[in-house]
Structure 1
Amino acid sequence: MCADTPENSADYRNTVFLPETDFPMRAGLPDREPEWLAHWAKIGIYDRLRDKAKDGSRKPFTLHDGPPYANGHLHIGHALNKTIKDFITRSHQMMGFDARYVPGWDCHGLPIEWKIEEQYRAKGLDKDAVDTVAFRQECRKFAEGWVDIQREEFKRLGVYGNWDDPYLTMNFHAERVIAEEFMKFLMNGSLYQGSKPVMWSPVEKTALAEAEVEYHDHTSHQIWVRFKVRRGGNAVMPVEDAVEYDGADQALLADQLHAASVVIWTTTPWTIPQNRAVAFSPSIEYGLYEVTEAPEGSTAVAGEYLVLADKLAGGVLTSAKLEDSMYRRVRTVSAQELEGLTLSHPYAGVENGAGEWDFDVPCLPGDHVTDDAGTGFVHTAPSHGDDDYQLGLKFGLPMTYNVEPDGSYRADLPLFGGQHIILPDGKEGPANVSNIKQLAWAGALLAKGKMKHSYPHSWRSKAPVIYRNTPQWFAAIDAKLDDGMGAYGDTIRARALTSIKELVKFTPETGKNRLFSMIENRPDWVLSRQRAWGVPLTCFTKRGAKPTDPDFLLKDPEVNARITAAFEEAGADVWYEEGFKEKVLANSVNPEDYDQVFDVLDVWFDSGSTHAFVLRDREDGTADGIADVYLEGTDQHRGWFHSSMLQACATKGRAPYRNVVTHGFTLDEKGMKMSKSIGNTIAPEDVIKEYGADILRLWVAQTDYTNDQRIGPKILKGTADSYRRLRNTLRFMLGNLHGFTEAERLDLAEMPELEQWVLHRLAALDHQVRKGYAAFDFQGVFQALFNFCTVDLSALYFDIRKDALYCDAADSTRRRATRTVLDLLFHRLTTWLAPLLPFTMEDVWLSRFPGEDSSVHLQDFPATPADWLNEPLAEKWDGIRRARRTVTAALEIQRSEKVIGASLEAAPVIHVEDAAILAALKSVPFADLCITSDLQLTADPAPNEAFRLPEVPGVAVVFERAEGEKCERCWKILPDVGSHKHPGTCKRCNDALS
């Protein structure tokens, strides 16, 4: 259709309506996106959107931002996270909500403190020698610097929000509220001090929460250790053995057991000095095994008796270098026999042991013992493992305090005093090897080896962690709370589980079971950290009182009020100022009677409390202090989602959110985890420099974010290709809307069926887009819109209507209808795509509606008239499109074989078997739809040589050439060309020219 004019013909180029637009084919996003950022800042777009809600016409919608740490440049995971959040807030704003977004930062805690310590170490300074307030101020300054950097990096992604007034956990009001929320635990009775094993980082010298731990492959020592039977009760002979040993001396059988050793297996040799029991399972079958022969190199001894789980015995004895012929099973050992045994510690009576280990080691039943691995017996050190601790509580086992905060044994521990388990640089200390050597010297080592397994590491120092018994502060999540907020339960755990079941919607749904099981099975919350940069545990303990005494903790509302007032005025640093204790206690109690606690709160308590000082306290918060959405990565089921749930259930009585949305992690193109050491990381900054932020956002929109996503050069190139196709669709609309006025607009009833069908598709899409955005299904939204643009519009509607747009008279009904539909398409596509591609849609919008105050982001999704939906018409046009597909496929063969150069050279004969479809085709200008100069429709049977598509039965095409001359304006070949006033034109073009 007349993009050019053939040589030696009349020149009608100036008579056709070719597209006119300044919208460039090349986006130039890296250079141009900052212009739109400046435009948005100039017009104050976020505040303008808030102004739209001042009349109360818009329902509030709040996505509460999970705070990133202010300690480094953004990585691709940050970009993914913040982009999805921006999709949510922008789409809900344009669906008619008042969608508020207050960005925030986590500013306390180990990540920032560790950075300052690294600076100290580089200068040869000792952090512990620096005044605490001075050190905290350096941490604050460091965080402030990174907040400013990250804020600009987030804004460059196109994320909009209240950037001028974000929330920071280190703001004075935030620190006041965090302390206030903590003191609610103090006052409601859920706070207690306990001594139990917790995850401990010897490198950082602090307790860690599960969310601060990551698991990496680690090679550990593994040892099999003999615990000799010291004494036991009467041997109880199982029935089957009584038969097998009929007549045997029962006393001899008992003596064999009493001469035996129970064998344990462990991957933490350093915990052996802390052993206080050996656990077994009453449901496991055990046997007494005699070593009949011990080869050279084996630590087994011929004639010794060993008690092992039958299922595991072969593997254990193989580890001791024994072949099957070198041992025999003597008999079964019953659970009743085992429970009556008393064992000796492997170090009992050792030289220079100073009697440290000369005590009885009971053999105790434990539900946690399995025969999946090991020996069927579990070495139990109550100070260094949760299962061990629980068994110790049940049977009154003593706790030990052999391990210091730096991961070394206490200096006066015999044999091992001062030796490190983990060295300050995170490497293994000598403690494991020393214990293995001592066990061998004592004759207790049956076998040894090494194994590679998943092991907990500190997420900050990357060093291995240990379980260590220390006095810590805990929140009892099963303590009954008499606080008047029992609608969903009377304990923190009960409220959390009820909230998950009844109050929260999860996307994806799998997150529900994951969070539920984590909270259902979790222990009490360890609130305390032995660090300096954080909100202190604002409480006082009575001197001389035990943690179990009712007056151990000072519970005074007036004291609490003085603390919070001081924090509001000057921040949490005042807690560390000299004389602060006396200042807040003096008018209530004698300060000399109380000790001030200087541990700081788990940083997850900080971020878990954000609902109080953001949602509850801010003007742009929520009326009920509950967010519509919390969105983070899947790791936050044990992190922010988890701590926020526990914290709010203690202080609000329910979950602080209605929706929990989770995304996966970013991987490279091969599906590998990104790592700086591997060199497969991709920085958002680099993607933006090469492609622009909208390409990065489009990558997010095209992925199923609920799973892990892959990104890399090839994937980004494919994303850029999709973007170009979409951009061309938008450019076509702009070019053909040039000069469009309201006077041209037609009503639905005046439009041809093709335009009515497009409006039906728009109505169906409107429902799909709104539903998808409401369900956070951005991939579904984008795919629907992209397919519509490329398949329904570019490949069909635009292709068909180019002729009418270019060649019809300006006031023709068909051209006016097309331009009306293009205008309706423009307003919908630009707004529907604006949440995903804010820069590009602003470019498109301003190309048509320039102005200092103009922006697509000030628009809402246009309302769609109900009468656009026309299912009977859609069904009819489904048949028309299938028939058209057969025609275009037949003509494509003729074109590829050089029979014709363009479809306008054809006038095919279409044979249609179905009478209804034939009638439908005759009711529309089917030749125009097929972009042919003419065609014939017939119900006659098709000849065998006719072209058919297997997926479109009943339609066959016979190729015929168009008859007549080529119109020099529209290029259709028609019989009437040359018979009109304007030379070389068809009637339509002649009339248009006249």
Structure 2
Amino acid sequence: MCADTPDYKDTLNLPQTEFPMRAGLPKREPEWLARWAEMDIYGRLRAKEGRTPFILHDGPPYANGHLHIGHALNKILKDMVVRSQQMMGHDSRYVPGWDCHGLPIEWKIEEQYRSKGQDKDEVPINDFRAECRKFAEGWVDIQREEFKRLGVTGNWDDPYLTMNYDAEAVIAEEFMKFVMNGSLYQGSKPVMWSVVEKTALAEAEVEYHDHQSHTIWVKFPVIRAVEKTGARSDLLGVNVVIWTTTPWTIPSNRAVAFNPGLSYGLYEVTEAPEDNWAKTGDRYLLADNLAADVFGAARVEKYARLRDVTAEQLDLLTCAHPFRGVEGADGEWDYDVPMLPGDHVTDEAGTGFVHTAPSHGADDYILGVKHGLVMTHNVLEDGSFREDMPFFGGLKIFDHKGKEGKANRAVIDKMVEGDALIARGRIKHSYPHSWRSKAPLIFRNTPQWFVAIDRELGDGRDEYGKTIRARALASIDELVTWTPQSGRNRLHSMIEARPDWVLSRQRAWGVPLTCFVKRGAKGAVEILRDPDVNAKIVAAFREEGADCWFDAGAAARFLSPEQLAEGWEKVTDILDVWFDSGSTHAFVLRDRVDGTPDGIADLYLEGTDQHRGWFHSSMLQSCGTKGRAPYKGVLTHGFTLDEKGMKMSKSLGNTIVPEQVVKQYGADILRLWVAQSDYTADQRIGPEILKNVADSYRRLRNTLRFMLGNLSGYDAAEAVDPSEMPDLERWVLHRLAELDETVRKGYAAYDFQGVFQSLFQFCTVDLSAFYFDIRKDALYCDADGSLRRRAARTVLDILFHRLTTWLAPMLVFTMEDVWLDRFPGNDSSVHLVDFPDTPQDWRDDALAARWAAIRDVRRVVTGAIEIERREKNIGASLEAAPVVHVEDADVLAQLRGLDFADICITSGIQLSNDPVPGNAFRLTEQPGVGVVFERAQGEKCQRCWKILPEVGHTAHAGTCKRCSDALG
């Protein structure tokens, strides 16, 4: 700048804002949380009248530890739903809740007792329950603060807890509806049993891991063949061979199953080592497809297939138990073992015959019931054989730590001793484990309480079926919207195939099965169905909590003297904790003032594992008591993995803890990670991913900061009507009309990733890299009252109101920061406003098509200039005044109707319809457009930096005409 040229910097309208470039989220977010609490944002939103309720019902996490990244994903997704629905005009209520009963908490207290050398069973039950309640209360308070720190809104001052007295009363009341409708029954049935936790487990509490098991091939000698046409006496003395991975179940064997649809043969060993268990001359019955595998495992060198064996012939056979007649068995196994047909038998592995112990397998039990087999009670709750069992009494299958006991090896050794095996081995396979103790499980026959899901209820709620299963399947197909749709298929297949619901647990901490029974002849159980007794129980629970059930004399409190005299006994089992959470629709949705009278939520949202958990139990419970599903929509998300796609594990050191992310980056970065993720699949997270998220955040923040800086001092009086705006501003309004539809449809469909990607691309590509880049010159250099500058500022104001509200459900802290920068005040908050209405007449598809063509040409121009800058021929695009050749006459006409140099941020542009010269810069994706670089001619304006011939010939030294006029 020449010495006599004035410094025009102070005459420019440069951005003015105190909005910081660096967010400082970890430090500043708690301040906003405190402000929202003081303002009672949640309560003020509830006070807005005339709104249709939208209720997302919170699936309760367990109150037993710090939050993990899966908790953060879940609660942030819920918060995005709640906030977006509120800002779309609903009364969007959210009552957070906690699951406070059950094994996770009881297990923690037992661990504390064990560490002190104490036995939980020696502690009075209500003292133990008090410890559990205290433990849960402590973690509720901790988790509540951790959830709030993530920016999650809700009724945190009055959450629901399944251990609240009122909740326990309603859970008991809901259970007693099953007592009264006749679907509750006590049965003896094999259930998944944890010997570590000494309780039955629901399917939702079971996970599968690799486990190494013993394998044995066992001989069941044929001792009888019914004389009948087609019977073959040559099968007497032959051995039916079974294969099992649970040797410990052999003492409970009651039958051998075969599949009439398979091909079987009679085989003879013709050559084998002398010391072999399978000896030359031995004859076996085997499935033809598996014979070679069996003989290979048995080290048989040669064998012959003697003939076919038909299903009819197998059906006539009776076998002996492998321990039949063994010395010292005292006749324990001297019973017949029938051959029974079963469709569950396959020839994919094993021998084609399945050893059947009805007390220790699901298929075995079904077959046993069908054919009247004896149910054994050989295995006790600690995983040991009953003391009086010959040879094996007291031996454990798994010990109290889940390690293998001596039972398997003892059974195998006894069979080796009695020449009952032809082979043995080991196999690694998928095996059920407790998802809490991680210990392997067993199927064990125990008396449990069940809800029959195929029994007609007779309660008059038959719109969707007369049984729980029918109602659930109808609800899935007719009443519920699934996000993603695959969730429907998963739950439908589970409900379609599931057995009766096991409700009872042999534990201490939870709501008891509030019913009374009377034992009749031959063990028959009668259940008391008395509405007056039920009412007394509910009233007592509501006043004192479920502990009163365990008080001495509780039976006398609830029963009449006549009923006591009749011998009615109190049941002491505890309800499956899934029944607790499955009942929340009653004591949260139906009974609370911030619920809904019909007890039906708009949405349940949890991880995909809850198809077997909360979604499942809530469906069963509600179909049994209300006749339909308790939800209109179900949204499921995937699991969280590390950056390599591996499951997170403390031992691997790849865990990401929400608290650490919040301390380093702030909660909004974690929320942005959720918004950018496809939650329907598994999500990856780690240091590099979080760095990329933080980079996206910075780019978005810069866009918002530009808007704030250029809106400084904006007054509604300077607003320009859209009809008077330049084409470029009207194009931005068109994009906003498009985005308004995208945002609303996306939020309604819970497509947060789609909403964010659309807004992020708009902010970074359409605004920062295009519109803002072009309009910086007008905003900084035009006269205050110029139409172009006023129109741009009007558009910035319109953009501000939409972008801050559209992004607020995702970036709750940052959008509050942006909002308060413009509208400070004690009552100001972006979270108190709705998405603004966007006029659809802003939409102009013809205009958008014109600007698409203009931007195509602009890309060629900027590409040509970038080469000149890279080769250091010029320093800035304003040093250029290129010649632009455009072959399309319509596009050329559109360009001539604009100041295309401004659009390209050059000092000048020559437009030509001449053929594109050979030396012109081109882009293959933009045929018919070429750019020949030319330098701008003239002097540099000391105010706007454009190079123009007119500079130096205006009223103000060193300025162009536009700048000189602006200076006045």
Partners of 2:270 and 2:965 lie apart in 1 by 113
Partners of 1:832 and 1:87 lie apart in 2 by 11
- The one of 108, 123, 131 equivalent to 1:130 is 123
Partner of 2:8: 12
Q: CA deviation at 1:590?
A: 3.0
Partner of 2:498: 522
- The one of 205, 214, 217 equivalent to 1:224 is 217
**Partner-residue secondary structure (3-state), 1:226:** strand
**Partner-residue secondary structure (3-state), 2:463:** helix
- The one of 159, 162, 170 equivalent to 2:155 is 162
**Partner-residue secondary structure (3-state), 1:99:** strand
The question of whether the paired residues in 2 share the 8 Å contact of 1:585 and 1:591 is answered with no
Q: CA deviation at 1:296?
A: 5.0
- The one of 30, 34, 37 equivalent to 2:30 is 34
Partner of 2:271: 293
Equivalence map 1:459-478=2 (5 Å): 459-478=435-454
The question of whether the paired residues in 2 share the 8 Å contact of 1:236 and 1:337 is answered with no
Correspondence 1:814 to 2:788 = yes
Partners of 2:147 and 2:261 lie apart in 1 by 57
Relative distance call for 1:215 and 1:277 in structure 2 (3 A) is: same
Equivalence map 1:101-250=2 (5 Å): 101-234=94-227
TM-score (norm 1): 0.96
Partner of 2:779: 805
Partners of 2:248 and 2:952 lie apart in 1 by 102
Correspondence 1:554 to 2:528 = yes
Partner of 1:242: none
Q: CA deviation at 1:678?
A: 1.4
Q: CA deviation at 1:21?
A: 0.6
Partners of 1:44 and 1:200 lie apart in 2 by 48
**Partner-residue secondary structure (3-state), 2:826:** coil
Partners of 1:588 and 1:890 lie apart in 2 by 100
Q: CA deviation at 1:758?
A: 0.3
Partner of 1:306: 284
Partners of 1:829 and 1:234 lie apart in 2 by 87
**Partner-residue secondary structure (3-state), 1:963:** coil
Partners of 1:591 and 1:800 lie apart in 2 by 92
Relative distance call for 1:698 and 1:545 in structure 2 (3 A) is: farther
- The one of 676, 682, 685 equivalent to 1:702 is 676
Partners of 2:810 and 2:360 lie apart in 1 by 50
Q: Deviations over 1:852-905 (max 9, x none)?
A: 111110110010012111111111111111111111111111111111111111
Partners of 1:960 and 1:777 lie apart in 2 by 48
Q: CA deviation at 1:589?
A: 2.3
Q: Deviations over 1:463-514 (max 9, x none)?
A: 1110000100000000001111100000000000000000001011000010
- The one of 752, 761, 780 equivalent to 2:754 is 780
- The one of 35, 53, 58 equivalent to 1:60 is 53
Q: CA deviation at 1:543?
A: 3.5
**Partner-residue secondary structure (3-state), 2:89:** coil
Correspondence 1:268 to 2:246 = yes
Counterpart code for 2:438: K
Counterpart code for 2:253: N
Q: Deviations over 1:12-60 (max 9, x none)?
A: 01000111111111111111110100110110111011011xx3x2110
Q: CA deviation at 1:942?
A: 1.4
Partner of 2:870: 896
The question of whether the paired residues in 2 share the 8 Å contact of 1:559 and 1:588 is answered with no
Counterpart code for 1:633: G
TM-score (norm 2): 0.99
- The one of 743, 748, 766 equivalent to 2:740 is 766
Partner of 1:436: 412
Partner of 2:728: 754
Partners of 1:9 and 1:431 lie apart in 2 by 100
Partner of 1:667: 641
Partners of 1:545 and 1:36 lie apart in 2 by 69
Identify unmatched segments of 5+ residues in structure 2.
Answer: none
Counterpart code for 1:25: M
Partners of 2:626 and 2:927 lie apart in 1 by 64
- The one of 585, 589, 598 equivalent to 2:559 is 585
**Partner-residue secondary structure (3-state), 2:212:** strand
Q: CA deviation at 1:7?
A: 7.8
Relative distance call for 1:940 and 1:297 in structure 2 (3 A) is: farther
Correspondence 1:374 to 2:367 = no
Q: Deviations over 1:370-393 (max 9, x none)?
A: 111111000000000110000001
The question of whether the paired residues in 2 share the 8 Å contact of 1:116 and 1:138 is answered with yes
Equivalence map 1:418-817=2 (5 Å): 418-544=394-520, 552-586=526-560, 589-591=563-565, 593-817=567-791
**Partner-residue secondary structure (3-state), 2:762:** helix
Partners of 1:780 and 1:236 lie apart in 2 by 72
**Partner-residue secondary structure (3-state), 2:187:** strand
**Partner-residue secondary structure (3-state), 1:593:** coil
Partners of 1:857 and 1:446 lie apart in 2 by 74
Partners of 2:847 and 2:753 lie apart in 1 by 29
Equivalence map 1:313-352=2 (5 Å): 313-323=291-301, 326-352=302-328
Q: CA deviation at 1:623?
A: 2.8
Q: CA deviation at 1:918?
A: 0.9
Q: CA deviation at 1:358?
A: 0.5
Partners of 1:824 and 1:545 lie apart in 2 by 81
Partners of 2:731 and 2:565 lie apart in 1 by 81
Partners of 1:597 and 1:6 lie apart in 2 by 99
Equivalence map 1:60-99=2 (5 Å): 60-99=53-92
Partners of 1:214 and 1:75 lie apart in 2 by 19
Q: CA deviation at 1:298?
A: 3.0
**Partner-residue secondary structure (3-state), 2:92:** strand
Relative distance call for 1:297 and 1:48 in structure 2 (3 A) is: farther
Q: Deviations over 1:370-427 (max 9, x none)?
A: 1111110000000001100000011110000100011000000011000001101110
What value does the CA root-mean-square deviation take over the aligned residues? Answer: 1.2
Q: Deviations over 1:636-675 (max 9, x none)?
A: 0000000000000000100000110000000011110011
Partner of 1:957: 931
Correspondence 1:24 to 2:20 = yes
**Partner-residue secondary structure (3-state), 1:403:** coil
Counterpart code for 2:437: S
Partner of 1:277: 255
Partners of 2:33 and 2:891 lie apart in 1 by 52
Partners of 1:988 and 1:317 lie apart in 2 by 98
**Partner-residue secondary structure (3-state), 1:487:** coil
Relative distance call for 1:855 and 1:7 in structure 2 (3 A) is: farther
The question of whether the paired residues in 2 share the 8 Å contact of 1:192 and 1:547 is answered with no
The question of whether the paired residues in 2 share the 8 Å contact of 1:608 and 1:647 is answered with yes
- The one of 877, 880, 891 equivalent to 2:854 is 880
Q: CA deviation at 1:588?
A: 6.2
**Partner-residue secondary structure (3-state), 1:589:** helix
**Partner-residue secondary structure (3-state), 2:656:** coil
**Partner-residue secondary structure (3-state), 1:944:** coil
Q: CA deviation at 1:255?
A: 4.4
Counterpart code for 2:644: K
**Partner-residue secondary structure (3-state), 1:657:** coil
- The one of 363, 375, 388 equivalent to 2:364 is 388
Relative distance call for 1:7 and 1:161 in structure 2 (3 A) is: farther
Q: Deviations over 1:198-248 (max 9, x none)?
A: 0111111111000011111111111110101111135877xxxxxxxxxxx
Partners of 1:10 and 1:789 lie apart in 2 by 36
Partners of 1:376 and 1:262 lie apart in 2 by 10
Equivalence map 1:800-949=2 (5 Å): 800-949=774-923
Q: CA deviation at 1:586?
A: 1.7
Counterpart code for 1:19: P
Identify unmatched segments of 5+ residues in structure 1.
Answer: 238-250
Q: CA deviation at 1:592?
A: 5.1
